[in-house]
Amino acid sequence: MGGSGEGWLSDGLDDTASAASGLWVRGVDYMAGWRVARESADRLNRALLGAGFEPSEVRAVASTDAEGRGVVRVACWPDAVERLAGLLEALPPRDGGAR
């Protein structure tokens, strides 16, 4: 997805200040949850690249919740959300899925 110092890191998609309180609880292993989330985020980011999306328009970001569970947040610009929604809506229905 890119390394440190690249311009896409400062384009505003990673601003999650309002998404979490930022308080850490002593004894909670946040790193374990983050590592799991990072693996999933990396997989999704590779799939997004393969579908023609640029990291500057949509990407998955690893995080944790207050209990230390891994969380993957998808940060997108609205036009990228519209493109992504169109791709997902074009998928054939799955058994048991609500569509």
Distance CA 14, CA 52 (A): 20
Distance separating alpha carbons of residues 17 and 10, to the nearest angstrom: 14
For the CA atoms of 22, 67, 14, 58, the dihedral, rounded to the nearest 10 degrees, stands at -160
Question: What is the pTM assigned to this prediction?
Answer: 0.71
Q: Is residue 92 over pLDDT 70? A: yes
The residue length of the chain stands at 99
Gap between the Cα atoms of 22 and 68, Å rounded = 12
Give 27 or 10, the one with higher predicted confidence.
27
Q: What is the pLDDT of residues 30-57, one digit of tens each?
A: 899 999 999 999 999 999 999 999 999 9
The whole-number pLDDT of residue 24 equals 72
Residue 6 above 90 pLDDT? no
